[in-house]
């Protein structure tokens, strides 16, 4: 197996890990299922990091995913608390922090795979 094949397989494994985590969260499964899904996505991202320079195409896929993840982090860190505070002020329901802070890294990991697969499926459009 060459590095490009390993890269592409790791893309699909990471997407499957996100699917497992999302399915576990939506079905209110045990915490271990969601943790295993996120751990799979993170470990496959490490493999993607190791093999990202296999060729120009895999490098462009990595750059697309990293750019979307970085943009998500820039928007989510100040944006989610601000939107939550704005909505709480409008409704008069100031019950504290309803959106957990741990969701932001999960959003960034998901955004990485969304950017990567958008580039993979759409190409240079």
Question: Where exactly are the structural domains of the chain?
Answer: 3-122
Give me the sign of the Cα torsion angle 71, 41, 62, 110: negative
Across residues 62-82, what is the average pLDDT?
A: 92
pTM to 2 decimal places: 0.85
What pLDDT, on the 0 to 100 scale, is given for residue 102? 77
pLDDT tens figures, 4-42: 999 999 999 999 999 998 888 788 788 788 889 989 999
Measure the CA–CA gap between 104 and 106, rounded to whole angstroms: 5
Cβ neighbours of residue 73 under 8 Å, at least 6 residues apart?
104, 108
Least confident of 58-67, 86-95, 106-115: 86-95
Measure the CA–CA gap between 42 and 68, rounded to whole angstroms: 16
Least confident of 2-16, 60-74, 98-112: 98-112
């Amino acid at each position: 197996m060459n590095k490009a094949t390993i890269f592409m397989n790791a893309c699909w494994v990471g997407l499957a890990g996100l699917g497992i985590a999302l399915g576990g969260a939506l079905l209110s499964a045990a915490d271990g299922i969601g943790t295993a899904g996120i751990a799979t996505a993170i470990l496959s991202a490490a493999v993607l990091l190791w093999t990202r320079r296999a060729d120009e195409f895999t490098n462009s896929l990595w750059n697309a995913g990293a750019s979307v993840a970085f943009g998500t982090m820039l928007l989510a860190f100040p944006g989610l608390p601000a939107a939550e505070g704005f909505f709480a002020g409008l409704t008069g329901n100031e019950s504290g922090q309803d959106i957990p802070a741990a969701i932001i890294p999960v959003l960034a990991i998901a955004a990485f795979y969304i950017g990567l697969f958008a580039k993979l499926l759409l190409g240079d459009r």
